[in-house]
Amino acid sequence: MRLLLRRFFRPAALFLLQPLLRRLSLRDATLFGCQLRAAPGVFHPGLYFSTKLLAQHLLRLSLREKTLLDVGTGSGALGILAARQGARVLAVDINPTAVALARTNAQRNRVADRFEVIESNLFAAIPEDRRFDYIVFNPPFYPRPPANDEERAWLAGTGYQTLRDFFRDAGRFLAPAGRVILIYSTDMDLDEIARIAEGGGFIPVREIVIPHLFEKFVIREYML
């Protein structure tokens, strides 16, 4: 019952806090040495714990000369951190404001030569011959339909449709022995998400649970 209440009230609380979050989202952020500009309507890299926790995880990986796809890049934070570690990064976002912001942040952090960003709804605009050693996604957490590009950062559509689309197509772009890495919240229906990933042919090979305040975050690595 407590979990169900959290799943209902957390999105409602976020909706009520939107005016405050919009004001805070205008502030630039620093994330593990990266100086990141912010923009209205783009998921802020400094306000939400999932970005920081997934960034910490990426910093533990050996990424030099690896290829990495940052899905739903937002400000570009995760992809830029990976590029600073030596990865060759393609970042994608459906929001054109996010694409422009990520490009600016890559230039600001001097990784533009290793960081490419394009506008794409998940994998739709990625050339079919591209393959990646890592595909990273900080997905929307709540299974409700988004009304605009800004809400796509929070709302995954009915029945986690965004995750269904992601796991349906991700395997086509994964290099041999490549890994897909996502972060979740225990506010989500993790059993349903496990079924979605399995339906796309993915098996979890590593899981890290991180307690934080009133919820736990879960980082899962998958392979085909």
For the chain, domain boundaries: 2-223
Task: Give the tens place of pLDDT for each residue, 115-172.
Answer: 999 999 999 999 999 999 999 999 999 999 999 988 899 899 999 999 999 999 999 9
Cβ pair 57, 208 in contact under 8 A: yes
What CATH architecture applies to the domain 2-223?
3-Layer(aba) Sandwich (3.40)
Sign of CA dihedral 63, 64, 65, 70: positive
What pLDDT shows up at residue 150?
A: 84
Model's pTM, two decimal places?
A: 0.90
Determine phi and psi for 52, rounding to 5 degrees: -65, -45
What pLDDT shows up at residue 212?
A: 87
Task: Give the tens place of pLDDT for each residue, 52-103.
Answer: 999 999 999 999 999 999 999 999 999 999 999 999 999 999 999 999 999 9
**Mean pLDDT, the chain, as a whole number?**
92
